[in-house]
């Protein structure tokens, strides 16, 4: 079974982006801790603010999409290598 890389990339990107978006808004609303400020080292323009939540969503979408593509590519490559001998003859 082959995984559709763009579909997995989009799904992982949306989930990762929404996670950063919600966590940032939670921190803006008054959650304690400064862990999210560390994301500014990875995400250009990010800070713990409402605008930063949208920037974090964008970068999370991009990074999640790339991660999903890589996971699907590795899975499809391994599946092809392991099961090519078992393919039915047509």
Residue 64's pLDDT band (cuts 50, 70, 90): very high
Residue 19 has pLDDT above 70, yes or no: yes
**Helical ranges in 1-90 per DSSP H:** 5-28, 50-83
66-79 per-position pLDDT tens digit: 999 999 999 999 99
Q: Domain residues of the chain, as ranges?
A: 26-83
What is the Cα–Cα distance from 18 to 35, expressed in whole angstroms?
17
* 12 closest CA partner among 60, 48, 79, 65: 65
Average pLDDT over residues 74-85: 88
What's the mean pLDDT in 42-60? Answer: 93
Q: How far apart are CA 52 and CA 40, in angstroms?
A: 9
């Amino acid at each position: 079974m082959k995984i559709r890389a763009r579909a997995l990339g989009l799904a992982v990107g949306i989930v990762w982006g929404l996670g950063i978006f919600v966590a940032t808004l939670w921190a803006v609303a008054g959650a304690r801790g400064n862990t999210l400020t560390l994301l500014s080292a990875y995400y250009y323009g990010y800070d713990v603010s409402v605008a930063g939540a949208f920037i974090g969503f964008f970068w999370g979408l991009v990074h999640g999409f790339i991660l999903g593509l890589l996971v699907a590519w590795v899975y499809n490559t391994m599946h092809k290598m392991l099961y090519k001998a078992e393919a039915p003859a047509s």
